[in-house]
Amino acid sequence: MNGAIFFSSRYGSTEQYANWIGEATGLPVFHVDDANADPTKYDFLILGSALIFFRLIIRKWVKANLTDLKGRSKILFSVSGAGPGPKLDRWVAASLPESLLSKMDHVALRGRMDPKKLPWGLRQIMRIGALINPDSQASKEERGGFDYVDKSTIEPILKLVEQFQSSEMSS
Ligand SMILES: Cc1cc2nc3c(=O)[nH]c(=O)nc-3n(C[C@H](O)[C@H](O)[C@H](O)COP(=O)(O)O)c2cc1C
């Protein structure tokens, strides 16, 4: 069984996680915009995506490649400010077709955001978002930034890859 990791990242944390998973599993890692990124060459796929403004940014690529992704996509990791929970589940469900999502294990990883590195316009949007966000912790993070990137949190993904590979070998 040969597998691969396909990711979409805007500010680098999803790419960092994808590379860590690639190093730990030996699977090749592709940015979805990479010209060599061909999901049909692989038996199983790990999809990784940043979550920006309540949606996974990989969704357009998924829609465009849905036929090739069906039957191959086994694990989804999302990277967001929000931690795992119903809110994140709703955003993920609104991003990807149920037919694909229902066949994947979802692992929610947490990313980073440094407002100082954002362009002025986006910084203002985050500031306004923080003012109207009823969740006080999320509001604080939108204003001041956060960094939850943690290599050890890929562990559940490594376990899933191991389980998946051993069950495929025995079948
Ligand atoms: C403009 C912007 C919008 C964001 N929107 C959300 C959001 O709706 N929900 C959330 O949980 N995190 C949100 N985040 C946090 C990102 O998910 C986090 O920064 C993540 O690490 C980005 O992944 P990347 O570094 O791979 O691009 C947002 C961050 C930015 C900069």
Check whether 118 has a pLDDT greater than 90: yes
Per DSSP, the residues of 31-57 read ETT-TT--GGG-SEEEEEEEEETTEET
- The minimum-distance atom of ligand 1 relative to the CA of 9 is 26
Q: 155 CA to middle of ligand 1, Å?
A: 22
CA dihedral in degrees (61, 66, 72, 78; nearest 10)? 40
Among 51, 90, 114, residue to substitute to test ligand 1 (most atoms within 8 Å of Cβ) = 51
Model pLDDT, residue 170: 66
Q: 106 CA to middle of ligand 1, Å?
A: 17
pTM of the predicted model as reported, rounded to 2 decimal places: 0.96
Is the C-beta atom of 49 inside 6 A of ligand 1? no
pLDDT tens string 5-20: 999 999 999 999 999 9
Is the C-beta atom of 25 inside 6 A of ligand 1? no
Model pLDDT, residue 171: 62
Domains annotated for the chain, with CATH where assigned, are 3-111+148-170 (3.40.50.360), 114-147 (no CATH)
Cβ atoms of residues 130 and 140 within 8 Å = yes
For CA atoms 153, 157, 74, 42, the dihedral sign is positive
Check whether 164 has a pLDDT greater than 90: no
Check whether 27 has a pLDDT greater than 70: yes
Check whether 169 has a pLDDT greater than 70: no
Is the C-beta atom of 8 inside 6 A of ligand 1? no
